[in-house]
Amino acid sequence: MRHPEVVTDNLNSLQSHILAEEAKYPRAAGDFSWIISAIGLAGKAIANRVRRARLTGALGSVGAENVQGETQQSLDVIANETLMQCLGSRANIAVMASEEDEEPTILRTGSQGGKYCVLFDPLDGSSNLDVNGPVGTIFSVLRNRPDEPDAERTICQPGSQQVAAGYILYGPSTALVMTTGHGTDLFELDPYLGSFILVKRGLRIPERHKVYSINEAYAETFPAWCRAYLAHAHASGYSSRYIGALVADVHRILMSGGVFLYPPTAKHASGKLRLLYEANPIAMIVEQAGGRCFSGDIRTMDVQPQKLHERVPLLVGSSGEVDDILGFMGR
């Protein structure tokens, strides 16, 4: 009999959570849990490196550009290598693909046991690192296509085909948000236990909240509908919040509502954010929490990808706020 006054720690770890979830699906062979545990392990290792970066001299750039033409931070490379190492040892992964690498990494074919493909942005928003701002890891899990010989075509699947998606936010705490299609759950890293602990199941985004998130520096080149929406928001008592790291701006929306926009700009005519390993996983997480996610006037998870690193515009957040903006688009 448990003593009523004794408050035990929350020991519902990521590991026990995914095993409990797996037990609900007798046909699940445990493959999937291996992948999520690898991502959790990588997240803990990356969190450790991010938190000590200034002390260990790991800040700053490597003096090279990545495939995106963006200056590569040392921690981008470290995070990428950490994920490759943790996931590479899982025997059921066929293909891995990263924002940092031009081509996908083929680990094994379907006949060799490759059941899943894992795509990731290893350290989103890394330009925040030098100013101690939040950064994040974003991941997306797809089923392998054994009959498709080309790795890039294998992973160019619409977001609706994802079997799991999530992100790890390295902020004041290290939060892991994940969905396997049965709601969106929130875990927090307990540094003393060294485990991600389940703190909230079935997150729900408020239908409305008067906060918008957009880089208004590009306002002169925004589409007319966007400028009309911003004029409406300015006249309707909205607040503006913009952190410059997608994971952090989306996490605020997940926790309290609001809307994030990255529309086409002069510099990024198709939008800046990458469809496969940024927009799609964010879209699955947000929709599973009752929000909406569009790229142009198309639901993001309905977009048929053509290339690994293709970019899309993004409109994501509270269902009521997104619907209002779709109205400004004339949808």
Where does this chain bind ligand P6P (CB under 6 A)? 124-125, 127, 215, 244-246, 272
> Shortest approach of ligand P6P to residue 266 CB, angstroms?
11
Nearer to ligand P6P, 218 or 225 (CB): 218
Nearer to ligand P6P, 32 or 167 (CB): 167
Nearer to ligand P6P, 104 or 136 (CB): 136
Q: What DSSP string describes 200-220?
A: ESS----S--SEEE--GGGGG
Instruction: Please tell me the distance from the alpha carbon of residue 105 to that of residue 110, in angstroms, as a whole number.
Output: 14
> Shortest approach of ligand P6P to residue 41 CB, angstroms?
23
Instruction: Please tell me the distance from the alpha carbon of residue 214 to that of residue 240, in angstroms, as a whole number.
Output: 8
> Shortest approach of ligand P6P to residue 247 CB, angstroms?
7
Nearer to ligand P6P, 183 or 244 (CB): 244
Nearer to ligand P6P, 252 or 272 (CB): 272
The phi, psi pair for 300, rounded to 5°, reads: -55, -45
Local structure of residue 104 (DSSP, 8 states) = P
**Residue 56: other Cβ atoms inside 10 A:** 11
Q: Greatest CA span in the chain, whole angstroms?
A: 66
**Residue 274: other Cβ atoms inside 10 A:** 24
> Shortest approach of ligand P6P to residue 312 CB, angstroms?
12
Q: What is the three-state SS of 132-182?
A: CCCEEEEEEEEECCCCCCCHHHHHCCCHHHCCEEEEEEECCCEEEEEECCC
> Shortest approach of ligand P6P to residue 323 CB, angstroms?
22
